[in-house]
Structure 1
Amino acid sequence: MAENMTIDAYKHGKVNIVDDVIGVIGSIAAAEIEGIKDLSGTFSEEMMEIVGKKNFNKGIRVEMEDNVVQIDLSVIVDYGTKIHEVARLVQDNVKLAIESMTGFEVSAVNVFVESINTKF
Structure 2
Amino acid sequence: MELKQTIGHIQISDDVISKMVGEITSATCEITSMSAGLVESISKIWSGRSLTNGIAIRRKDDLVEINVRVIMRYGSKVHEVCRELQYKVIEQIEHFTGLTIQAVNVIVEAITPPQTSAKY
- TM above 0.5, yes or no, is yes
Q: Does 1:80 align with 2:64?
A: no
Ranges in structure 2 where 5+ consecutive residues have no aligned partner: 116-120
CA–CA distance in 2 between the matches of 1:76 and 1:115? 5
1:34, CA displacement in angstroms?
2.1
Instruction: State the identity as a percent.
Output: 33
Q: Does 1:109 align with 2:67?
A: no
RMSD: 2.4
Helix, strand or coil for the counterpart of 1:81? coil
Checking the alignment, whether the CA contact within 8 Å between 1:34 and 1:86 is kept in structure 2 is no
Rg larger in structure: 2
Normalized per residue, the structure richer in strand is 1
Would the alpha carbon gap of residues 74 and 110 (structure 1) be closer, same or farther in structure 2, given more than 3 Å must change?
same
Report the count of equivalent residues.
107
Match for residue 7 of structure 1? none
Match for residue 3 of structure 1? none
Checking the alignment, whether the CA contact within 8 Å between 1:33 and 1:90 is kept in structure 2 is yes
4+ runs deviating over 2 angstroms? 42-47
Would the alpha carbon gap of residues 45 and 116 (structure 1) be closer, same or farther in structure 2, given more than 3 Å must change?
farther
* Alignment partner of 2:64 out of 69, 85, 88: 69
